[in-house]
Amino acid sequence: MNSTPEPPARPDPAQPHGHAHPPPHAHTHGHGPAAPVSRRLRTIIAAVLIPFAVAVAVGLVALWPGGVPGHAPSGVGMDRQMEKAQVVRVEQVKCSDVNAGGGQPPGAAPEQGTPGAPGGDGAGDEVCEKATVRVTTGDDKGREFTEIVQPDSTRRLSQGQGVVVAYAPNAPRELQYSVNDVERDVPITLLAGLFALAVVAVGRLRGLLALVSLVVSFAVLTLFILPAILQGEHPLLVAVVGSSAIMLAALYLCHGLTARTSVAVLGTLISLLLIGLLGSVFIDWAKLTGNTSDETGLIHGLYPGIELSGLLLAGVIIGSLGVLDDVTVTQTSAVWELRQADPTMSARRLYQAGIRIGRDHIASVVNTLVLAYAGAALPLLLLFSIARSGVSTVALSEVVAEEIVRTLVGSIGLVASVPVTTGLAALVVSADRFTPGTGAPAAGTAGAEAPSAGASAPGPRRAESRGGRGRRRKP
């Protein structure tokens, strides 16, 4: 009895023909760290970013101020010697007994017949607070003075309260000290602690790195940007160098030294350049001087060499940086995740899908920026809402036009960052055609698509094999 060889097992139709297992990297859909890119792409990105980082470092060294320049004390506002003190006693007294007129704005002469005016009918009815304050720091530690709080004052003092007092050495001895503010060490420190705790509790290591980047940002702002501007360097140049340093430190600290982060850095840089260009054009075109508040007036008086219009532009750039980081990182991550979810997506499809995500982001971020500026300028808006001038006159006044230009320029930069960053990210992930270190085709490229086409491409080989098995099975 002749025995015929057993036919080979028929392949499982559920399994793809031509290969047993797909490449282990071809279908990764994880949402963890971004997949590494090829050495060629890393080289291209480094060729762009390394010169930029070197230029930022050179700018920091060349413009480093070495401290805040000195000046003659003006005795105005915060430019005074400040000490800490404590309220030891508060008494209720008649305003007429301490020569204090209530109910009048500071500097206004009281009118006859009003409370607090000489000979006024209600002068004796007004009740003031007489606070005894003891200085707790400085050369005059332990010295006490009297502070009169009028009835219409918005700040009230209580026994045991910590206060900040201003010292005027050239004034008469009984008028040398005055209460300037109250101490807020405990509530502010507690709030900062709660903020740090919430960031670390939710973000964990990433949250801790975000706090570190926040410290670096404040260090660059206080040790470089502000002193360099006071030294007379051009505010725009200082803001560009300082903002670039903050951007590099914040993004790479929080998101790692990856191609994804590098694309976000490039998108942020391009958007910052656009904001700087638009801001420079429209601040000059609208003839905005930047001198619209008591603070800027004081700065101009102490440091006449500072260009206030440049200071305004520097504020626009620095203020837009934080929101720009959020937009560029989100858009880059969205494109990377889309690519990992579907490695066959082309650059065009990736861009279209990323833009759809970005449109939702634009609506919320622009609204956030506008409301942030409106909230900061709320007292100013209230003042102009009761003005007798027309709406156009108020809106085109310098103090309001400054906020309008600041808001619109920053918003245009934010809107532009979405297509710019999405396009860069789509080009980068689509151009990545080789896996690092192996030279094998990456997922989603022409070479990587061969396994998925294996069901049809090896057709002749399967037919030959099937035909051979058929002949062996004939009787």
Per-residue model confidence (pLDDT) at position 214: 92
- The pLDDT value given to residue 433: 54
| Residue 404 burial by Cβ neighbours in a 10 Å radius (0-12, 13-18, 19+) | middle
Question: Which two tokens mark 44?
Answer: 């291209």
462 vs 468: CA distance, rounded Å: 10
**pLDDT at residue 124 in the model:** 52
Strands 144-149 and 127-135 turn out to be antiparallel
| Spatial contact of 157 and 71, defined as CB atoms under 8 Å apart | no
Tokens standing for 343?
């490695």
Task: Say what the pLDDT of residue 242 is.
Answer: 92
Question: How far, in Å, CA of 84 to CA of 136, rounded?
Answer: 6
State the DSSP H helix or E strand holding residue 283, giving kind and residue range, or none if neither. Answer: helix 259-285
Q: Given this model, what pLDDT does residue 436 score?
A: 42
Per-residue confidence (pLDDT) for residue 428, from 0 to 100: 87
Which secondary structure element, helix H or strand E, spans residue 82, and what is its range? strand 81-94
With tokens 């101009």, the residue in question is: 300
Residue 241 has a pLDDT of 92
Which residues share a beta bridge with 87? 133
Residues 337, 34: contact at Cβ < 8 Å?
Answer: no
Report strand pairing: 144-149 vs 162-167. unpaired
CA angle 210/216/222 to nearest 5° reads 135
| Residue ranges per structural domain of the chain | 39-65+196-431, 82-101+123-185
Taking 3-state DSSP, the helix, strand and coil percentages for the chain, each rounded to the nearest 5, stand at: 55, 10, 35
Residue type at 245 in one-letter notation: A
Q: Residue 416 and residue 390: Cα distance in Å, rounded?
A: 33
Alpha-carbon distance 6 to 3, whole Å?
9
The 8-class DSSP code of residue 451 comes to G
Instruction: Report the 10 Å Cβ neighbour count for 365.
Output: 21
Average pLDDT of adjacent 10-residue blocks, the chain of 475 residues: 47 44 40 58 82 92 79 66 91 82 44 42 70 92 91 87 90 88 92 95 91 92 89 86 92 87 91 91 89 79 81 87 86 90 89 89 75 75 71 76 86 91 89 49 39 41 43 46
The CB-side HSE value for 301 (13 A sphere, CA atoms) comes to 13
Architecture per CATH, domain 39-65+196-431, reads as Up-down Bundle (1.20)
Cβ neighbours around 4 below 10 Å, total: 9
Helical pair 308-341 and 398-431, crossing angle rounded to 10 deg: 30
Return the CATH number of the domain spanning residue range 82-101+123-185: 2.40.50
pLDDT at 190: 96
